């Protein structure tokens, strides 16, 4: 079985030429607080802002790093966390077992991710950190991030965990989703939007005609959400 393509590359829209034309930037294993766990870092270490990336089900820590570089350039440190569990398909990782009915691993997954993010806050305040997740990573970002003093949360092709409710004072949120997503229905982000608006959270939903991925046409708006001062 072949590993899946990069999650953020959407179907027939070609990003290949721009991705191949530029040499990859240095990527290092995280060498900070060991409580952060397995992670990859990229970008300027001296930057006073950070973007933390949570990959989707069956992907791995490197899956969203190129997306992060496109969104942030040299303005932020990039840190991609690796999910703790091996994926049952034989490649990639998972935050919890989606195939196990009722997701019994989810409570521990929440606690573990919160501890990792709080450990990151010891090297750079969470108020200067945007958390971006895709699919299962988006569900984790919104669930755990809603209780943390983050700068912002980006949830791409995500869904609400059972019983999850937005918090009145949570960070600003940007949702993205393809209307033709056959994996996580677009209605899942509409439900996230409804729950966030019910708590008067600062939230916006960006849609595309794409499938299960992050449409390149949404990247400029995502970049402005993460760093409002960029052109």
Q: Are strands 50-54 and 39-42 parallel, antiparallel or unpaired?
A: unpaired
Question: Tell me: the pLDDT tens digits for 162-187?
Answer: 999 998 889 999 999 999 999 999 99
CA 64 vs. chain centroid, Å, equals 8
CA atoms within 13 A on the CB side of 110: 15
User: What's the pTM value of the predicted model, to 2 decimals?
Assistant: 0.88
CB atoms within 10 A of CB 138: 29
Alpha carbon dihedral 168, 200, 149, 66, in 10-degree steps, equals 140
pLDDT of res. 158: 96
**Rounded Cα distance, 58 and 137, in Å:** 11
Instruction: Give the range among 58-62, 94-98, 166-170 with minimum mean pLDDT.
Output: 166-170
Tokens describing residue 157: 């092709």
Q: Say if CB 98 and CB 57 are below 8 A apart.
A: yes
DSSP letter, residue 83: P
Q: How far apart are CA 33 and CA 122, in angstroms?
A: 8
Tens digit of each residue's pLDDT (9 = 90 or more) over 103-153: 999 999 999 999 999 999 999 999 999 999 999 999 999 999 999 999 999
User: Do residues 178 and 211 make contact, with C-beta atoms less than 8 angstroms apart?
Assistant: yes
> For the chain, what is the total number of helices (H) and then of strands (E)?
6, 10
pLDDT of 231 over the 90 cut? no
Cα angle 101, 94, 152; round to 5? 105
pLDDT score recorded for residue 46: 85
């Amino acid at each position: 079985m072949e590993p899946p393509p990069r999650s953020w590359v959407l179907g027939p829209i070609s990003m290949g030429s721009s991705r191949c034309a530029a040499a990859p930037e240095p990527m290092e294993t995280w060498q900070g607080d060991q409580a952060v766990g397995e992670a990859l870092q990229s970008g300027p270490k001296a930057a006073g802002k950070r973007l933390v990336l949570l990959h989707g089900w069956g992907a791995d820590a490197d899956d969203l790093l190129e997306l992060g570089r496109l969104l942030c350039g040299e303005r932020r440190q990039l840190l991609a966390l690796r999910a703790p569990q091996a994926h049952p398909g034989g490649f990639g990782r998972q935050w919890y077992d989606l195939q196990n009915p009722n997701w019994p691993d989810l409570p521990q997954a929440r606690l573990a991710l919160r501890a990792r993010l709080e450990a990151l806050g010891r090297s750079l305040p969470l108020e200067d950190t945007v958390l971006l997740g895709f699919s299962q990573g988006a569900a984790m970002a919104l669930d755990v991030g809603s209780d943390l003093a983050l700068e912002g949360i980006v949830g791409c092709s995500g869904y609400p965990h059972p019983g999850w409710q937005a918090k009145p004072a949570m960070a600003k949120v940007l949702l993205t989703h393809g209307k033709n997503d056959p994996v996580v229905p677009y209605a899942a982000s509409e439900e996230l939007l409804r729950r966030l608006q019910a708590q008067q959270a600062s939230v916006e939903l960006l849609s595309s005609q794409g499938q299960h991925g992050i449409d390149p046409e949404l990247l400029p708006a995502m970049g402005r959400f993460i760093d409002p001062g960029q052109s």
